[in-house]
Structure 1
Amino acid sequence: MKVDKEALHKVAHLARLNVKPEEEPKLIEDLSKILTWVEQLKEVDTTGVAPLTHMTAEVNVLRKDVAEKTIRHEAALKNAPSKNDDFFKVPKVLKRND
């Protein structure tokens, strides 16, 4: 499939790409090759082949999300650079615009 300059710029606009004039010939050639390859895929007989949503049948095996106490409160605050009773003290990261 042949791609012209207008089609290249339309695709570049949709993809939010800036195409420099010196890049145009190479991009037109590459895009033409890609579209030619996709056209060849249309010739493949896919009768009886189920569509895929993933390339493998593997499924993530996740553990149950169970809350459990893994560290004592005192141990968690032990090495804190700044603390206030039962809490970590951290510097402000948001400013108020009053």
Structure 2
Amino acid sequence: MKLDINSLKKIAHLARLEFDENSAKKMTTDMTQILDWVEKLNEVDTDNVEPLITMSSEENVMRKDEVGQHLDHEKGLKNAPQRDSDYFRVPKVME
């Protein structure tokens, strides 16, 4: 599959990427090679192959949920670097 400069510009815009002219040519070549490689997967015969749910044969071992002793509210706040009555105080991260 041949990728042209206009398609690359559309993809770059969607991905919020910027390329200069030389980089755009190299990226077009690289992406064309990647798409050609992915197209080869269509040649593989998968008629009698069951789909996998996961790539690993490992099973997740879950523990039972049990009600137990929880950390007291005051003990939980005891080592907080900064607190405001009943809550942790943290630096503002959004404006």
Q: TM-score, normalised by structure 1?
A: 0.65
Q: Does 1:36 align with 2:42?
A: no
The structure number with the bigger radius of gyration is 1
1:24 to partner: Cα distance: 0.5
1:53 to partner: Cα distance: 3.2
**Structure 1, unaligned stretches of length 5 or more?**
none
Q: Which amino acid aligns with 2:16?
A: L
Name the Cα RMSD after superposition.
3.1
Partner residue in 2 for 1:19: 18
How far apart are the structure 2 equivalents of 1:13 and 1:92? 36
How far apart are the structure 2 equivalents of 1:91 and 1:39? 53
Query: What percent identity do the matched residue pairs reach?
Result: 35
1:93 to partner: Cα distance: 6.9
Aligned residue for 1:25, secondary structure, equals helix
How far apart are the structure 1 equivalents of 2:9 and 2:62? 45
Matching of residues 1-98 of structure 1 within 5 Å? 1-14=1-14, 16-21=15-20, 22-69=22-69, 73=72, 77=75, 80-81=78-79, 90-91=88-89
**Structure 2, unaligned stretches of length 5 or more?**
none
Q: Which amino acid aligns with 1:29?
A: T
Assess if the C-alpha contact under 8 Å between 1:80 and 1:88 holds in 2: no
1:12 to partner: Cα distance: 2.0
1:89 to partner: Cα distance: 6.3
